[in-house]
Structure 1
Amino acid sequence: MRGFYMKNKCLESDILRFLILLGSATIASSLLFITAGNSSNCAIFYMLAIFLISRYTTGYIWGILGSVIGVIAVNYFFTYPYMEIDFLRDGYPITFSGMLTVSLITTTTATHLNTQKQDALNREQMLEKINHFNNHLLSAKNKEEMLNLSISFLSELNHADVLFVPNEYQNDSFSNDTDNHFSEVYTDVNDPVIKEYIKTTLDKNELMTLEREEIYYTFLPISSSVHKWGTLVLYSKQPQTNQMELNRLMIPQLSLSLEHYSLIEHHQTLLMDSEKEKMRSNLLRAISHDLRTPLTGIIGSSSTYLEAKEYLDETNKDKLIHGILEDANWLLNMVENLLTITKISQETALVKKVPEPIEEVVSEALMRFQKRYPKSKVIVKIPDEFLMVPMDATLIEQVIINLLENAVKHSNTIKPTEFTVETKQSEVSFSIKDYGQGIPENRLASIFDGSPISTNDKNDRKKGMGIGLTICKTIILAHQGRILASNHPTGTIFSFYLPIEGGDSYENK
């Protein structure tokens, strides 16, 4: 109905312009004939009118019709005998044939120029639409958004319902969910024609147009040299022939965008695999270091006790047993760390985050830490406001315990450790500050990669930071946070940051 209305309106406009221009030429010629008594220039007005008719109407018919009517009008109104049609007087056939020929040539030229202008305008509009479409594709965040955007765009362009049929069809589809007045939402592939296409032609990747029971179908396959994603199906009661060229141009743009996004996904997967492999190597190196030293101590102390117990007094025996107990507790703590990290999926590095009150998480972590190190002093500063942060509470408690434990064991000071929690815009910071010997500057950049820190202290050589900090980094990254280490004038600060907004599962970037 919309197309029929537009055609009628265009026809009415052409008729009106045709009558006005011919009428104006007749009036002008009459005025010239009356005032000057000269009819030789009357044909010029009609030729000008014919040129304007050809220029401002659609198609060739109006110019040709104007040429015939102009020749007849000049003969009837302004050629002797007046008010009669007579093409047989001496010289008249040649004169009027020449006038008709010139008029037709003028009409053809003007119409052709008009057609070229309209074609150029159509191409410009097509390029604008394609550019608009490409800009939207570039802003899309994933493949599903690209497909939904294409469905909406094609639906509006063709005034048709649009459905995406994946190449590996499994009764799922992306349907047009726009709220325009000319398109209904397509939610399932129940149409028999589309079902037939899926069974017979989907894998062939062929562009097709069909007409069944006054319904027109256009099948636009989306593919590249590497992938075949599926087919966009246009479905309406009107053929989509007017926009077919634009449809053909849009589909390659969509294919290129999908291919580009696939390459980005593949690149990100490779980077993530590389990061996982690097972290796995660091973990193995840290485990080998942190397991070997306490095990060596346990073996050495137990061997000494068994072989020389008759020569040892009670004090030395207690010292050996205390060393064995200390090393065993260290191994137990390391096993807890390893069990903690297994909560993070090895394939996707995801954690389940739910809003947790900061005060309770910090309190629980400090309680567990104090049981291990009852003589350690920790000064805690947390905001007075009630603060909820999305996290896996057990994992974050383990991070806090690991960082506090490192501060106590490696700072070599009796000064208390400061633990501060602050809100900073869209994130919360947790800082553990000690007043010890600090970390060598050349080790700060790689402190979280699992490499132990070598110092001159015997206890530090025995139990390096190793695996603990690597696990801390893994946990914080899985929360989409960040962790840093830095020195201050009298010690070291370990800080990690968690985003305030967000829940459910987040991917480790």
Structure 2
Amino acid sequence: MPRDSNSASYSPDQAGRRRGKLKIFLGYTPGPAKTAAMLGNAQRDARDGMDVVLGLAGGHPMASSSGFDKIEPIWMPTPEEEAEGHYEFDLDAALRRNPDMILLEQLAHVNAEGCRHKRRYQDVEELLRAGIHVYTTLDIQQIESLTDIAASITGISVQERIPDSVFERADLVELVDADPDELADRYRKGRMRPDELVQDGQDISGLYVPEKLRPLREIALKTAAQQLRRIAMLINEQAKKEDNPYKDHILVCLSPAPSNQKVIRTAARMAEVFHGQFTALYVEAPERETGDARNSDQATKMQLRENLKLAEQLGAQIATVYGDDISVQIAEYVKMSRVTKVVIGRSPVIKKAFYNTSIVDRLIPLIPNSETYIIPYVDNEGGKKFRFPATAPLPTPKDSLKSLVILLVCTLFGVWFKELGFREANIITLYLLGVLLNATITKGRFYSAILSLLSVLVFNYFFTTPYYSLKTYDSGNLVTFVVMLTASLLASTLTMRVREQARQAAQKAYRTEILLETSRKLQQAGDAPAIIEGTARQLVKLLDRAVVFYPVERNKLASPIVFPNREETVDPSRYTDESEQAVANWVFANNKRAGATTDTFFGARCLYHAVRGGEEVLAVSAIVMDEGEVLGSFEQSLVIAMLGECALALEKEKLNEQQKEITMQVRQEQLRANLLRSISHDLRTPLTSISGNAGILLNNSRVLDEEQRIGLYADIYDDSIWLINLVENLLSISRIDNGTMRLNLQAELIDEVIMEALRHVNRNSEKHILRTEIEDELLMARMDSRLVVQVLINLVDNAIKYTQEGSVILISARKSGESILVEVSDDGPGIPDDVKERLFEMFYTGNNVSADGRRGLGLGLALCQTIIQAHGGTIGVRDHSPRGSVFYFTLRAEEVNIHE
């Protein structure tokens, strides 16, 4: 696993920085002083105040005298021998140092095994994302799309390359030019550094002749000029999109052939020149048995994987279709996607193969409205040519025995038919039936073709004169044999095609069913954990592999969740150890794919994908790749589609949560506004009364008699108690709503709670008749007595306020099933039915005015409802017979233990 894999790639400070800028010092060959130009530019930047650090600059003499701080390289030993290895750039140390700029030579360098990334340009990408500027060097033949052209000039094929997209994203490109004659003269005089004469471990001294250097220089000048045009076009990119909505669409056809890489590079250059959309199409063709990775040989699978990866690196959008007729599938895609240019390869070595030549020949008439570019291929690798696997598998004893048994059965039935007097035409149909049956139960056309030929021979031997001889006297039999053989071959071909199409349809239906089922399950999922579980189960079902998911909680990855394969027991520790979690954290921080079968953390056991919503990572998925089998292109596209569905569902769930929070905030704001409005309006009367009565007592105390003073004191007291009760209700409601009030539930006697409440009711209760009626003195309920006392006080005060003097107010309690029913009834004017529905709403008063002329805020009954519901009970109101109202609530009953 990579060294220091547990170290974080991003710190919060780095994540907030702007992306760094990349400047490439481009040369057409090693030797034109690219490193010296890079160091010279960096020294000027350092004099301007930039913090410049030397990453790796080879053995250039200027590096030691530049005065820059240096990132010490790390020693990466080879797996076979600890003493052997290479010094590599320490990416983690550079991220911790976090300078303004880093100098890195050889952008296309391939890192040693054990580094985080396979290639140095991936290290550079991570530095840029961390906000660090990078200066680096590059040779023109190391740009992927130009590799073949440079190799045709120099005869040297380089292995250290970068995708064109990396070069195109460079913010600045400086061409370091040198005269070819002077460069060749430097080589002849031995004035070149030894490391400049070695590239990819091979001697390139034969390159330094003017005849090879001049065309390379011309390519470098054109590439640099093209980059300048590209930057100019980016400035007006939005305007160009509006002026030309129908851009060119270039399609390259993929195959497992090594020659296909040249086709891909050619198409990439065309897409760059025409500034068009670039798509790479792969047709999974079962007849050729190269589309199914499980059935093709390992070399073919690896070559196909390399071609797909190359297309992705060059900026192509990968598309996969499935069908037995490759040319028809390509033509259908061209028409549906409005492709304007099709790039396809043709190797002269396999031109004799009927099936492969027919792909190009049949494709051109099918797409008359699109331009077709056929790229020839000349092999420079010692005559080793790619050949597609045979269209039919090798004969097997099992299928051979089936064919012989069918032939024998048909012959026996034919002899029987002959004895019964049937004509030869009937016997011929018998053999045709045998060929059809054989095509159904055997694999490949080989058996059907052999059986067709044998059927003709056996028919001639047993059923035509002379019997038991392959000779024939009737010239018409020859026509019969030819027709019989042709009909057998056609029938077997059609039968096999129908069987293959049925298999394809079943496979497509299965994959479509998984996608539809995934969408349906994600729509039905109620929360984020259910969404993740549904996606993981569907991935396991599709891939038949274990899957690990890392949810995101509070802007960091939570503990991994392992979803094992259906048919095997998975040890979670193998896929969730520190090194694997480090890869998941890197994917979360960088929003990029990593792990097995990629160039980043390629030693991991799992393939990691970021489940992203826009630029935000919502989760990280890991697909176990222990079997060493890579995902097919179609499987990979399905995985991306399913993870996209998961991201949409998670994003929707997140938006729903945010909407709920916003709704709650709006509700709280409305509550606050209503409260302030009600307080400002309804508190004016008691406060004015208190201040007025207090002013009278202060200014006229000597004039007032004792009775008048006591009346004023009583009014002040009543208004003060009203304000105190209001404040208590407000505080109680706020504490219960925000969850800060905890219920202290205990078994309490109902009689004691009612008596305690009656001691704190309104002073005006003396003007009413208060009675209690309790079914049993030992009646107990589970409650927080302090809050229930407040409920009873509010209900009794409410009855006192809104009934006439002398009314009877009855507080009763009795057991009703498993609950205690408490009622507060009166014989007042009663409550209208339309008011009862909203009586317990906060701030609702129903335009009722109490007997003392005060109007309440509508908090008392709302508070009662909140308290009773917190106890798990119910509260309500009904009419009292013959007149009045009854407020009731329930509490959970408690049994009295007489033994205690």
Structure-1 residue corresponding to 2:685: 293
Shift of residue 161 of structure 1? 1.7
Q: 2:411 aligns with which of 11, 16, 26?
A: 26
* Structure 1: stretches of 5+ with no match in the other structure: 5-10, 501-509
1: CA distance between counterparts of 2:649 and 2:642? 11
Q: Give matches, 1:64-103, under 5 Å.
A: 64-75=449-460, 77-78=462-463, 96=481, 98-103=483-488
Contact 2:801 2:850 in 1 (8 A): no
Q: CA deviation at 1:274?
A: 3.3
**Does residue 626 of structure 2 align to residue 234 of structure 1?**
no
8 Å CA contact 2:452–2:489 kept in 1: the answer is yes
How many pairs does the alignment contain? 486
Residues 328-407 of structure 1 aligned to structure 2 (within 5 Å)? 328-344=720-736, 346=738, 352=742, 356-357=746-747, 359-360=748-749, 363-364=752-753, 366-372=755-761, 377-379=770-772, 394-407=786-799
Take 1:481 and 1:272, find their aligned partners in 2: how far apart are those partners? 25
Change (3 A) 1:245 1:226: closer
Contact 1:418 1:434 (C-alpha < 8 Å) held by counterparts? no
* Contact 1:380–1:420 (Cα < 8 Å) also in 2: yes
AA paired with 2:666? S
Q: Corresponding residue for 1:107?
A: 492
2:435: which partner in 1? 50
C-alpha separation in 2, matches of 1:116 and 1:386: 79
Cα deviation for residue 28 of structure 1 reads 1.5
Say if 1:342 and 1:197 are closer, same or farther in 2 by CA, change over 3 A.
closer
Deviation per CA, 1:265-312: give whole Å up to 9, x if none: 344334333332332233223433554333222222222222222122
Q: Secondary structure at the match of 1:344?
A: helix
User: Residue 597 of structure 2 aligns with which residue?
Assistant: 210
Matched, 1:196 2:583: yes
Higher helix share: 1
SS at match of 1:416: strand
Residue 144 of structure 1, CA deviation? 1.0
Q: Is the 8 A contact 1:287 1:466 kept in 2?
A: no
Partner SS, residue 811 of structure 2: strand
Deviation at 1:415, TM superposition (A): 0.5
Distance in 2 separating the partners of 1:141 and 1:428: 37
Verify the 8 A CA contact 2:596 2:602 in the aligned structure 1: no
1:325 aligns with 2:712: no
Q: Secondary structure at the match of 2:429?
A: helix
What does 1:490-501 correspond to in 2, within 5 Å? 490-495=883-888
In the alignment, what sits opposite 2:861?
469
Residue by residue over 1:50-93, the C-alpha shift from the partner in whole angstroms, topping out at 9 and shown as x without a partner, is: 11222344554543443344345445555667666679x98887
Q: Percent identity?
A: 24
Counterpart mapping for 1:110-121 below 5 A: 110-121=495-506
1:184 corresponds to 2:570: yes
Change (3 A) 1:442 1:181: same
> Residue 152 of structure 1 aligns with which residue?
537
Distance 1:445 1:283, change over 3 A: farther
The structural deviation recorded for 1:410 is: 2.3
Instruction: Answer yes or no: is the 8 Å Cα contact 2:810–2:826 preserved in 1.
Output: yes
CA 1:394–1:164: 2 relative to 1, 3 Å: farther
Give the distance between the partners of 1:83 and 1:310, measured in 2 at CA. Answer: 151
The secondary structure found in structure 2 opposite 1:464 is coil
Closer, same or farther: CA 102–177 of 1 in aligned 2, 3 Å: closer
Amino acid at match of 1:326: D
| Residue 265 (structure 1) aligned with residue 657 (structure 2) | yes
2: CA distance, partners of 1:56 / 1:284: 84
- Aligned mate of 2:701, from 296, 300, 309: 309
| Conservation of the 8 A alpha-carbon contact between 1:51 and 1:107 | yes
Distance 1:205 1:385 in 2: 70
Q: Distance in 1 between matches of 2:408 and 2:679?
A: 99
Q: 1:201 to 1:377 in 2, by over 3 A?
A: closer
Instruction: Report the CA distance between 1:478 and its aligned residue.
Output: 6.5
Q: 1:172 aligned to 2:558?
A: yes
Residues 220, 231 of structure 1: 8 Å contact kept: yes
- The correspondence for 1:449, drawn from 810, 820, 842, is 842
CA offset digits 1:101-134 (Å, max 9, x no partner): 3322212211111222233334444455555555
Gaps of 5+ in 2: 1-293, 296-395, 894-900
Counterpart secondary structure, 2:561 = coil
C-alpha distance in 2 between matches for 1:422 and 1:245: 66
**C-alpha distance in 2, partners of 1:126/1:243?**
9
Shift of 1:213: 9.3
Q: Deviations over 1:361-419 (max 9, x none)?
A: 78446514424458573535579998876x76654543343223212332335312335
From the superposition, tell whether residues 106 and 174 of structure 1 become closer, same or farther in structure 2 (CA, over 3 Å): same
Quote the Cα distance in structure 1 between the aligned partners of 2:604 and 2:410. Answer: 48
- Assess, with a 3 A threshold, how the Cα gap between structure 1 residues 256 and 336 changes in structure 2: closer, same or farther: same
Worse overlay, 113-122 or 170-179: 170-179
Distance 2:675 2:681 in 1: 10
Distance in 2 of aligned mates of 1:162 and 1:326: 70
Change (3 A) 1:255 1:495: farther
Structure 2 letter corresponding to 1:189: T
Distance in 2 of aligned mates of 1:201 and 1:59:
47
Equivalent residue for 1:503? none
Of residues 798, 802, 805, the one that matches 1:410 is: 802
Mapped partners of 2:602, 2:453: distance in 1? 44
**What TM-score, normalized by structure 1, do the two folds share?**
0.75
TM-score (normalised: structure 2): 0.46
Residue equivalent to 2:830: 438
Assess, with a 3 A threshold, how the Cα gap between structure 1 residues 105 and 206 changes in structure 2: closer, same or farther.
Answer: farther
